[in-house]
Amino acid sequence: MYVPRFAREIGGLAWRRRILVVGVALMLLLAAVVTTFLLPRMHESFTRVRIIGPRALHDLYGNRLEGAERLDDLVRSIRREILSTESAERVVADLGLDAGLEALSKPERSRARAALVEQITSSTSVNRLKADPGQAILRITHRSTDPAVAQRIVTELATGFRKGGSGGEDNGLPDTFQSAREEVSRLQTDLSCGEAEVAEFRSSHEDLAPDEAEALDTACECERLAIRSLDSEILALDRKLNEARAQLADEPEWTLAGDGSGRTRNLTHQELKKTMVAVAEKLSNVRDERRRRQANLDLLLRRQSSLPALKAELLSLEKRCDTLRASLVAAKQQETAAVNEWLLSQSEQAVIFDVLDSPVYPVRPNVPNQIVIAVLGLVIGLGAGIGTVVVLDLFDDSIRDVEGARVALALPVLGGIDCIRTEQEKRRARVRTRLSLVAVLAMLFLIGIALFVQVTADGDVGSLMARVVELVG
């Protein structure tokens, strides 16, 4: 495979100074990982709102360019209104976010309230999404360290705009639409709670997973086999212990000396006694192990016996979610039908500002993304390390080869002798290689830490292997 010359030269420089390259990359990666731990974890809530211009806009006035320009002006006006300081102050007042500032003095309370308004304004964004001609869809997003506060602020920005914004007057929407929208909001909330309940039920009862149930059956069978083996061993040890006791009873402890001068201890009796003590000790250990195995088996059997009831409860929760989804689809169809009916009945100056979705409750933090920051720190570190090596090489006037000697001396070179490395230099090279390998392993370990923290913070440890496989693939 052809490799450009400059790439080979840079690769050679990076390899000769691999300690420097890997060290710079490791430091920047460590700084990136530490930064992710120091940054506050932000939760992002969002909702979508639909803006339908006047009836003439819906028909595009017979001129698409004019209709698009008028709708764009309307969208820009609404976007400015949502991101205005007045809108943020209305959110603070309606939600009572300044309730904790009453204990401060008036100047301090004013400064704190201004900072709170500025924080809401800077943490809110409004983006326009693709929509059908004659209408626009805006995505209102807010980030906060508290997920509940983020959801409440998005709700107030989306619904409160109708109260005080430029498109804020209630345009006389029919009661059928109002009731349909309330029903959609209620069903979305119930469905979110139901799905969260199902997820929590699954996470708290891991035995319901197919692999876990099969593993539970396998564990029960292993425990039964182990108990049978231990029972056989206990019977054998009991038999051996009884035989040793019988032989010990038949064997006298003392015997007469061969010359009849006195008594001596019977060595056979002593050996039998030692054997009996060893067998009794082993028998006690085996019985303890058998009791432990039996306790484990009882626990596994209790878990196994509770599976049918747990599966029935999970099935009931999933059926309830399916019912809520079907009801939500029907309610959205009713809402759309009511909007279309109302639109056809309005005059050419009617404007609709409609909330399409209930604001999302951000269960998991969205910012910062530890994986992206860690990989970005690694890439920047490698680039900085290689760039440092290249800059150092530009200022290095050492002669490293025959061509360098010919250019530096401006004289013909008869020949060259390869570098003769001593044992000490070879040892140093091996040490540098090992240090580079340790640094690479440390970088992989830091990326692994970032991945683990991201997954565990998301509350989904089970997706760790899936994400690793996705990254490797």
Task: Say if CB 356 and CB 49 are below 8 A apart.
Answer: yes
Instruction: Give the pLDDT mean for 387-394.
Output: 82
Residues 146 and 48 in one domain: yes
Residues 268 and 149 in one domain: no
Is residue 443 one of the residues assigned to a domain?
A: yes
State the CATH number of the domain containing residue 167: 3.30.1890
The tokens for 136 are 């626009």
- Domain end among 339, 365, 391: 365
pLDDT tens-place string over residues 80-139: 888 888 888 888 888 888 777 777 788 888 888 888 889 888 889 888 887 666 677 888
Backbone angles phi, psi at 137, to 5 degrees: -120, 125
Q: What band does 66 get if pLDDT is binned at 50, 70 and 90?
A: very low
Q: Average pLDDT over the chain, rounded to whole?
A: 75
Backbone angles phi, psi at 354, to 5 degrees: -125, 130
Is residue 321 one of the residues assigned to a domain?
A: no
| CA–CA gap between residue 103 and residue 92 (Å, rounded) | 17
Q: What band does 154 get if pLDDT is binned at 50, 70 and 90?
A: confident
Domain that holds residue 293: 207-315
Q: Where are the alpha helices (DSSP H) in 205-266?
A: 210-250
Backbone angles phi, psi at 288, to 5 degrees: -60, -45
Percent of the chain with pLDDT over 90: 1
Is residue 336 one of the residues assigned to a domain?
A: no
Percent of the chain with pLDDT over 70: 75
Instruction: Check: pTM over 0.75? Answer yes or no.
Output: no
The alpha carbons of the chain give a radius of gyration, in whole angstroms, of 39
Q: Which residues of 431-466 are buried (b: 16+ CB within 10 A; e: fewer)?
A: eeeeebeebeeebeebbeebbebbbeeeeeeeebee
Q: What band does 59 get if pLDDT is binned at 50, 70 and 90?
A: very low
Q: Which residues of 224-263 are buried (b: 16+ CB within 10 A; e: fewer)?
A: eebbeebeebeeebeebbeebeeebeebeeeeeeeeeeee
At how many degrees (to 10) do helices 18-38 and 370-394 cross? 150
What is the layout of strands, in order, in the sheet containing 135-144? Answer: 124-129, 135-144, 43-52, 352-355
State the CATH number of the domain containing residue 252: 1.10.287
pLDDT at site 170: 44
pLDDT at site 456: 62
Nearest-10 Cα torsion for 397, 399, 404, 409 = 90
Has residue 281 got a pLDDT over 80? Answer: yes
Task: Give strand pairing partners of 51.
Answer: 136, 353
Residues 308 and 360 in one domain: no
Q: How many other CB atoms are there within 10 angstroms of residue 169's CB atom?
A: 12
Task: Give strand pairing partners of 128.
Answer: 138
Residues 34 and 94 in one domain: no
Task: Give strand pairing partners of 44.
Answer: 143
Residues 34 and 52 in one domain: no
Residues 95 and 147 in one domain: yes
Is residue 183 one of the residues assigned to a domain?
A: no
pLDDT tens-place string over residues 156-176: 888 765 544 444 344 445 566
pLDDT at site 165: 41
Q: What band does 257 get if pLDDT is binned at 50, 70 and 90?
A: low
Residues 161 and 55 in one domain: yes
The tokens for 211 are 């692999």
Indicate the length of the chain as a whole number: 473
pLDDT tens-place string over residues 197-209: 888 887 777 666 6
Task: Give strand pairing partners of 255.
Answer: 264
Has residue 78 got a pLDDT over 50? Answer: yes
Residues 35 and 45 in one domain: no
Has residue 464 got a pLDDT over 50? Answer: no
Q: What angle do CA 455, 456, 461 make, to 5 degrees?
A: 75
Residues 57 and 158 in one domain: yes
pLDDT at site 369: 73
Q: What band does 347 get if pLDDT is binned at 50, 70 and 90?
A: very low
Is residue 342 one of the residues assigned to a domain?
A: no
pLDDT at site 266: 66
- Domain end among 365, 395, 425: 365
What is the count of structural domains for the chain? 3
Is residue 275 one of the residues assigned to a domain?
A: yes
Q: What band does 385 get if pLDDT is binned at 50, 70 and 90?
A: confident
pLDDT at site 472: 47
Q: What angle do CA 110, 111, 113 make, to 5 degrees?
A: 65
Has residue 446 got a pLDDT over 70? Answer: yes
Residues 246 and 303 in one domain: yes
pLDDT at site 376: 85
Q: How many other CB atoms are there within 10 angstroms of residue 141's CB atom?
A: 20
Task: Give strand pairing partners of 50.
Answer: 137, 354
Is residue 331 one of the residues assigned to a domain?
A: no
Has residue 63 got a pLDDT over 50? Answer: no
Is residue 337 one of the residues assigned to a domain?
A: no
Q: What band does 183 get if pLDDT is binned at 50, 70 and 90?
A: confident
Has residue 36 got a pLDDT over 80? Answer: no
Residues 456 and 415 in one domain: yes
Residues 16 and 119 in one domain: no
- Look-up: residue for tokens 């006389």? 172
| CA–CA gap between residue 437 and residue 227 (Å, rounded) | 48
Task: Give strand pairing partners of 49.
Answer: 138, 355
Q: Say if residue 54 is preceded by a cis peptide, omega within 30 of 0.
A: no
- Domain end among 334, 365, 396: 365
